[in-house]
Structure 1
Amino acid sequence: MEHLSMPSKLDHYLAERVESKATDLFQARKDRPQLEASFLYRSAASDNVWSLEKSPIVHINSAEELEKAESASSNACAQIYTIRHQRSWTTLNISHKLFQELLEKHRVFHHFWRSILTFGWRFEENEYGFPAFRAKRSQSGRGKVDEITYVIRRVERNNRPVKNGECPWSIRQTGIYHRLAYEAVGSQHKSTFILVAPSSIVDDEITKSLAQHHCADGVMNPAFAVHERLVLDSLRGWMDYMAWLESEVKQDSNRVIVSKMGTHEIHFNANDRQRLKQLEDYITDMMVILQTMADTIARIRTSCQRHCQMSCGDSSSCSCSYTIDEFEEYATEAQLYLNRAKVLKARVKSTAQLLSDLLGYEESRNLKQLAQASHQLAQASHDESHYLMELQKKSVQDAAAVKMLTIIGLVFLPSTIVANFFSTEFVKVNDQGRLHVSREVWIMAVVAVPLTAITIFFWWLLLRLSVLGRHNS
């Protein structure tokens, strides 16, 4: 990226921030104009009645085109340059070089850079990173110069598919720079505006407002009509946004109220506490924004009063006095929204505290029930252990009895086998009283030995299957 010199009054810290963030701030796009310029001209009608005419929008994409547009609009009473971006949290659709050319050509004071640094790529919003309203008065070779800059926030629906718990609203911002040049008190002035990322609605409203602006005293004061439209646009969505926040808080509050403690009819959990914390953060951010907005509107009103004195002198019929009254109403409206936000935050805190208390109560009740269940389980385990001990004693007694029977069986087994053998047909006593063994005695061995082998085999097989079954389980 080509290095561009910063204005001489830009402090070192701010210059470093601009240079480090330049790639995240500026990126020209081929399919979009870098600058949109429109110019206002005074037109004298009959009976000394003046009106304003707005030129068609001029698209500017280079320093040469900027110079050409400046030359063609040298007699314009106001110049409005608009810089846009494709989406929030993305780069501005202008190159760093052309933006620097614009600032140097109109001798923009360095405080405007603080407003510009709130734009560009970012992954999270920090409401404490937005600058306050800044004004400066100076003397040029041809007269006095007033410069003001500020960032004004607005809220609007994002029109994105919303999942459960997501916010359907987004907070946008517009950066404004205004330079007023006076040649003499009571004379015509010349305004230069640089609008960064204004809403599509405010463009049309500025055009309509300026088209309706007329003056019969020969001195036109349309400068602060642009600010009036911008402030009106920024205040438009806050009431609906607060109504949405209040409905979300009420949903959680109703679930807490209808729940019956100590029963299964409990309709809240820890997720509701997290949701309330999220809503509280939304409201805190809104309070910071509204406080800054109320201060900004009051400062704009002060600048408008000073402009009215410079342009109209002591004239009480100056048209800008009505604009001052409008700013007073807007400041009151912003303060009203701020007061409502404070009440809403207090409601969220009280609901969150009640929910935390009930969750703590429910947790303690569950712990008590768990302790009781553990005691009952311990008692049941003790009874079971006692039963197992008795069963073990009985098993030992049964084993001793079986052992005794086994010993008795072993004692009588040899004599039983001998008695059975001699009681068969294979062993007889002849007439002479002698013991006679039949020649077919081998049949007994042939039958008994295989049966014994088969019995031992089946015993071994059953034992093997039992071992394999325990191993697989």
Structure 2
Amino acid sequence: MAPTYHLDDLRSLEKKINEKAHDLFKEKPGRAGLQVTRIFKQKTGNRDIRESERTVFIKDLDVCDVSAVKALQHDNQDDTQIYTIRQDRSWTTLNISRDLFEGFVNTHNVMPPFWKHMFTFGRKIQENEFQFPHFARRSTSSWQWLKEGSNEQRGEAGHQTEYAYMLRRVEINGRARSEDDNPWSIRQTAVYSKFSNSARPFIAKDDQAQALQPRVYEQAKCTFLLVAPSENAEAQFAQCLSQSTGCNGTPLTPWNIHRILVADSLSGWMDYMAYLEKRLKEQSDHVVLATVGDDKVNLSPLTDFIINFDDRQQLKIIEDQVLDLQVILPGILDAVTQLQKEFSGFASHSLCFEEKEREELYEIAQEFKEYVREAGMLIDRSKALNDMAISTARLLSDLLSYEEAVSLKKLSYETQMESKSMGHLAEKSTKDAAAVKILTVITLIYLPFAIVSSFFSTQFVTIKEDGHLHLATNVWLLAVIAIPLTAITIGSWWTWVYLTEVKPTQDPLQPGIVTLQRQHSFKSIMSSKKKHKPNDLESGLGLARSPMFPPAFHAGSPTSTWSSQATTVKSEKSG
């Protein structure tokens, strides 16, 4: 036989396992991390061949260590073994230790792609719908030839087929306390199945042709691993097992196990989509039935409808739930389609199964065709729900835009009225300014007369008895005192204006930074005239003054800003 090479990237897979193992596995004290249901045939001692065997099962047998897994794997008595890993709550760890799970994987030689299905479990804060893998299948065959022995022992063949897929389902969570709470939760189940069978080829008695011809399989064994199955599926398993006991009972075959899991996965989606449709219609009716405008005003606020951004947020949540359906349902359809193809292939394999098994497989394959149609119908309805959500969101957005237009119209009207008021105030201010101007002109007209009259009313000018004016000899004191006082007043005003002028100064430590400084007090004038000691290597570097605002604040400012002390801005030369 030609050698085969392992094409799985086990190194990257091991690294990912080590990263996620902490949030994926956690053994519960006092509880078995793994349970198994064994199904096998038992002799009855009846002479009738048809009634010589009956189906027996052992349900929920605890498996606590790897040695028990190995013992069950080498037990050839069992026809089917269903291992179960449970999970107390969604989005939390599985109730199994990492050592026990890896022991199961190594013992049963589980295909590495099944780890991708396991990574969808564990602790998380939100669901990543794009993390769920597709249907995985792997088939291996082997032949072992013996050099010694009889013709019946000279050759033996083995064939194994592995399946791994995810099934998503919706269930009532029982946590809804109000109408706004979502009563549904989306959960998942990982399914691993290995169908192992062995056969011995028929060898001609004359030992001449040495031609091998296929023969009916003598032994077949199926192993299942169900991760977080639903309570409904486990109840159906228990019911089928109870009905399989007895000589005339129908055994729980591997094909029925797949059928129960798929039927349970598809059962709740119709009701869940009806719930989403109801919520969408509530939002749509709320918007469509609103009264917009009246007969008097064409563009007016809504009279009986109050809408805000919370309604848009609620609609966005529904939109996300509908979009999730378009990712989940195609994955379910892919798994159901692949299983239907496998069962149809098994049903047509007349050399591997008895007539009764082929009939059962054919019936199950036909039932899976109905599951494929149902999954396709659910996908079409999810697309219709998505279109409904988009149209409702568009209508709601238009309504919000309408309200914004109404608010802008009101604001424009109020701005117009305010502009008119400002115009009246400006007109009044202009009239007041004209009155003040007139008063100023009148004051300027009478000012020379007031000055002259004030001068003649002083003691420097007297009128003698003969009616002549007489000036005092010290009249020069008026000019000596008034002229210097006027000069001092004008000089003080000019000095104040000059010293309080904003002057740009450049920081020597930061050549690209210019400081606008305003001196407005005697203290600032005196402090600016202090001499600074020169910086050299012996005296050390001088401490640089830190600006009142961080440079990053002024770097992004389009205009310069000055304060009572100093403000740093970027100079035009450095820019």
Q: TM-score, normalised by structure 2?
A: 0.63
2:38 maps to a residue whose letter is F
2:59 maps to what in 1? 56
Paired amino acid for 2:266: L
Classify the secondary structure of the residue corresponding to 2:90.
Answer: coil
Letter in 2 for 1:235: L
Q: Cα deviation per residue 1:138-165 (whole Å; 9 max; x = unaligned)?
A: 1135411111001110011221144564
Residue 436 of structure 1: aligned partner: none
Trace 1:420-459 onto structure 2 (pairs within 5 A).
none
Q: Answer whether contact 2:73 2:108 (CA < 8 A) is retained.
A: no
Post-superposition offset of 1:316: 8.5
Counterpart pick for 2:279 among 248, 264, 269: 248
Corresponding residue for residue 176 of structure 1? 191
Matches within 5 A, 1:365-404: 365-387=406-428
- AA in 1 matched with 2:400: L
**Deviates further, 91-100 or 159-168:** 159-168
1:351 and 2:366 equivalent? no
Amino acid at match of 1:81: Y
- Work out whether residues 55 and 249 of structure 2, in 8 Å CA contact, stay in contact via their aligned partners in 1: no
1:10–1:38: structure 2 CA closer, same or farther, 3 Å change rule? Answer: farther
Determine if contact 1:235/1:334 at 8 Å carries over to the other structure.
yes
1:75-96 superposed Cα distances (whole Å, 9 cap, x missing partner): 0100111011221111111111
Is contact 2:287–2:396 with CA below 8 Å preserved after alignment?
Answer: yes
Cα deviations across residues 225-280 of structure 1 (Å, max 9, x unaligned)? Answer: 11111111111111111111011101110110111223332243332222222211
* Distance in 1 between residues matched to 2:321 and 2:167, nearest whole Å: 18
Query: What 5-or-longer segments of structure 2 have no aligned partner?
Result: 1-5, 144-156, 200-214, 293-299, 455-575
Q: Amino acid of the residue matched to residue 263 of structure 2?
A: L
* Structure 1 residues 340 and 215: alpha-carbon distance in aligned structure 2, compared to 1, 3 A threshold: farther
For the structure 1 residues 77 and 274, does the alpha-carbon distance in structure 2 shift closer, same or farther, using more than 3 Å as the test? same
Displacement of 1:393 after TM fit?
A: 7.3
Match of 1:155 in 2: 170
- The residue number in structure 2 matching 1:143 is 158
1:280 corresponds to 2:314: no
- Counterpart CA distance in 2 for 1:283 and 1:51 is 48
1:206 to 224, 237, 254: 237
C-alpha displacement at 1:370, in angstroms? 1.3
Q: Name whichever of 258-267 and 125-134 sits farther off.
A: 258-267
Q: Which amino acid aligns with 1:286?
A: L
Q: Quick one: distance in 2 between partners of 1:36 and 1:260?
A: 62
**Hey, what's the Cα distance between the residues in 1 that align with 2:160 and 2:246?**
23
User: C-alpha deviations, 1:347-379, integer Å up to 9, x for none?
Assistant: 111111122222222212321221121101110
Local SS of the residue matching 1:312:
coil
Change (3 A) 1:326 1:209: farther
Of residues 116-125 and 50-59 in structure 1, the stretch that sits farther from structure 2 once superposed is 50-59
Matching of residues 36-185 of structure 1 within 5 Å: 36-43=35-42, 48=50, 52-70=55-73, 73-141=75-143, 142-162=157-177, 165-184=180-199
Which secondary structure does the structure 1 equivalent of 2:288 belong to? helix
CA contact (8 A) 1:38 1:80 kept: yes
Q: Does 1:312 align with 2:344?
A: no
Name which of 257, 276, 288 aligns with 1:257.
288
Stretch of structure 1 that moved more, 309-318 or 16-25:
309-318
With normalisation by structure 1, the TM-score equals 0.76
Q: Which residue of 2 aligns with 1:432?
A: none
Secondary structure of the 1:365 match is helix
* Contact 1:40/1:79, CA 8 A, preserved across alignment: yes
- Residue 216 to residue 135, structure 1, CA distance change in 2 (3 Å): farther
Q: Which residue is equivalent to 2:491?
A: none
Cα 1:384–1:31 change in 2 (3 A) is farther
Q: Shift in Å at residue 116 of structure 1? A: 0.9
Distance change >3 Å, CA 220–CA 158, structure 1 → 2: closer
- Structure 1 contact 54–207 (Cα < 8 Å) conserved: no
> Where does 1:216-255 land on structure 2 (aligned, <5 Å)?
222-255=253-286
TM-aligned CA distance change 1:199 to 1:217, over 3 Å: closer
Cα distance, 1:186 vs. partner?
A: 3.5
Give the superposition deviation at 1:384.
Answer: 3.4
- Cα distance in 1 for residues equivalent to 2:196 and 2:276: 44
Contact 2:240 2:252 in 1 (8 A): no
Distance in 1, matches of 2:343 and 2:358, equals 15
Measured in 1, the distance between the counterparts of 2:253 and 2:270 equals 28
Post-superposition offset of 1:320: 1.9
Deviation at 1:220, TM superposition (A): 6.9
2:86/2:227 contact within 8 Å kept: yes
How many angstroms does 1:382 deviate by?
Answer: 2.0
Letter in 2 for 1:386: E
Does the 8 Å CA contact 2:55/2:247 hold for their aligned counterparts?
no
Q: What is the CA distance between 1:397 and its match in structure 2?
A: 9.6
**Equivalent in the alignment of 2:363:** 322
Provide the secondary structure at the position in 2 that maps to 1:58. strand
> How many pairs does the alignment contain?
400
Any idea what SS the aligned residue of 2:187 has? strand
The answer to whether the Cα contact below 8 Å between 2:241 and 2:252 also exists between their aligned partners in 1 is no
Q: Does the alignment pair 1:297 with 2:336?
A: yes
In 2, Cα distance between the equivalents of 1:197 and 1:83?
6
Amino acid at match of 1:53: V
Report the CA distance between 1:212 and its aligned residue: 3.8
Which structure has more RCO (C-alpha within 8 Å, separation ≥ 6)? 1
* Helix, strand or coil at the partner of 1:198: coil
- Seen in structure 2, the aligned counterparts of structure 1 residues 161 and 364 have a Cα distance that, compared at 3 Å, is same
AA partner of residue 10 (structure 2): D
